[in-house]
């Protein structure tokens, strides 16, 4: 894929930088990291040195100031070869760093953002609890007497994050959710588990316990729901970019395989059924990319992008889940084997329909925005 029309020279240069890094540094060890459940810390450090962990952070706070469109392009290119690394970066850039950028005080931004933007630490957000996934109103983790008490699960980057945004019920806001910042090291913050997953084996997913953990408030009391939902708009764009990258990687595999694999005395690329699959895969990938870029550009312009981000995630995640399966179908039995990355792409794709809001939630967001009170 060459230059993408409509992008600035800087955005295309950022994408090409990420592409080279993905091909040269990430791809060679991706399969081994997946098998060994190995968090790619060295690669994360390299991304920090390249300035890509602060790509959408203002230059005044130590970032590149390139905007969220550039961040989404980086996430797509990384996901094209290793979705585990892509989601690590996506969470750091979006739901990890953005709450502080959007809702933090000037002092908090000046103190906390530069180290994150320069790769000296990762960011994470702790939302989900065992009884509260999509229903944030059901959280039980509580802020009382100036400390956090409770448990969070499935925190991406949770074992390694230096800065964690926590959404908890606030005793000082009549029990309404508020947002808080926890900085490691923190007494009472304990890693209680790293659950096994179907895919994304090289990304870190952690269960955390907060036993009287000191924290600082982010935003106003009772603003936790607004903060969480506000940054999810950007997070969904990141997941849409991740899903698009997975589908693009699967398409690249299928094309190469179709050209080289022979059956009935000729490359299978001559078969009409194979040609039809490749054509559908390519069209879906381009459509998914267009949707996430539209949402990212609206975010960069400061325009509303809730519906557009939901549409991008809904469509791109469906494309990733289906078209990674189609790549395996093109490759036949070889695609099912673990010595080729097609099956890893297939396992990694499913979660894009679940986290940062399930596909069912995205449909609700879109429908209620379009139908208004008639849908409620």
* Residues belonging to the active site: 356
Cis bond leading into 369, ω under 30°? no
Provide the 3-class DSSP secondary structure of residue 206. Answer: strand
Q: For 161, phi and psi rounded to 5 degrees?
A: -60, 135
Distances (CA, A) of 376 to 44, 143, 357, 371: 43, 32, 19, 9
Beta bridge partners of 170: 143
CA distance 309 to 126: 21
Provide the 3-class DSSP secondary structure of residue 365. Answer: helix
DSSP state of 170: E
CB-based contacts of 361, cutoff 8 Å, min separation 6:
134
- Name the nearest CA neighbour of 354 among 328, 317, 319, 326: 317
CA distance 233 to 300: 12
Q: What is the radius of gyration, based on Cα positions, of the chain?
A: 21
């Amino acid at each position: 894929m060459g230059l993408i029309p409509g992008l600035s020279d800087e955005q295309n240069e950022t994408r090409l930088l990420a592409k080279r890094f993905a091909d040269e540094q990430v791809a060679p060890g991706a399969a081994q990291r997946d098998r060994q459940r190995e968090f790619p810390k060295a690669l994360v450090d390299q991304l920090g040195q390249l300035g890509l962990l602060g790509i959408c952070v203002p230059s005044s706070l130590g970032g590149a100031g390139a905007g969220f469109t550039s961040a989404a392009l980086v996430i797509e290119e990384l996901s094209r070869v290793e979705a585990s690394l892509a989601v690590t970066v996506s969470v750091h850039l979006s739901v990890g760093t953005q709450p502080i950028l959007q809702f933090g005080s000037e002092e908090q931004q000046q103190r906390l953002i530069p180290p994150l933007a320069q790769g000296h630490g990762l960011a994470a957000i702790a939302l989900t609890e065992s009884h509260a996934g999509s229903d944030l109103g059901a959280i039980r983790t509580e802020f009382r007497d100036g400390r956090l008490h409770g448990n969070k699960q499935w925190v991406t980057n949770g074992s390694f994050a230096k800065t964690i945004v926590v959404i908890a019920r606030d005793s000082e806001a009549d029990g309404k959710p508020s947002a808080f910042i926890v900085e490691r090291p923190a007494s009472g913050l304990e890693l209680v588990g790293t659950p096994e997953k179907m895919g994304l084996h090289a990304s870190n997913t952690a269960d955390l316990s907060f036993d009287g953990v000191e924290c600082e408030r982010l935003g106003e009391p009772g603003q936790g729901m607004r903060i969480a939902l506000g940054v999810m708009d950007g997070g969904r764009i990141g997941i849409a970019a991740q899903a698009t990258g997975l589908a693009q990687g699967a398409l690249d595999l299928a094309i190469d395989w179709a050209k080289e694999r022979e059956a009935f005395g000729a490359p299978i690329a001559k078969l009409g059924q194979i040609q039809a699959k490749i054509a559908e895969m390519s069209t879906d990938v381009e459509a998914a990319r267009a949707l996430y870029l539209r949402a990212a550009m609206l975010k960069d312009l400061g325009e509303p992008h809730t519906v557009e981000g939901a549409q991008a995630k809904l469509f791109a995640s469906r494309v990733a889940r289906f078209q990674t399966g189609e790549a395996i179908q093109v490759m036949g039995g070889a695609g099912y084997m673990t010595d080729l990355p097609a099956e890893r792409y297939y396992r990694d794709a499913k979660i894009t329909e679940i986290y940062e809001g399930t596909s069912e939630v995205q449909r609700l967001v879109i429908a209620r925005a379009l139908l208004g009170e008639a849908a409620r």
